[in-house]
Amino acid sequence: MKAKMFDNQFDEGDDITPLLDLSQAKRLLLDPKRVNVDFPTWMVESLDREAGKLGITRQSIIKVWLAERLKNSA
């Protein structure tokens, strides 16, 4: 298929996924990268309380809150 035809199908809203080779597809910038952060004890305890209320882990609440803050800052 020529690129022009592919572009036209995409622009018209046709489903182009059968035309793609997704076996090597990657989601950019989503690979985890480990970082170390030191928090004061009171902050860790507060995070644990909030995480417990929501039924999630401390790591999850940190990720969610940071993502929300970064999204609002953008």
pLDDT, residue 29, reads 84
Domains and their CATH numbers in the chain = 36-74 (1.10.1220)
Query: What is the arithmetic mean of pLDDT over 13-31?
Result: 89
This prediction's pTM: 0.60
Three-state SS annotation for 29-70: CCCCCCCCCCCCHHHHHHHHHHHHHHCCCHHHHHHHHHHHHH
pLDDT, residue 30, reads 84
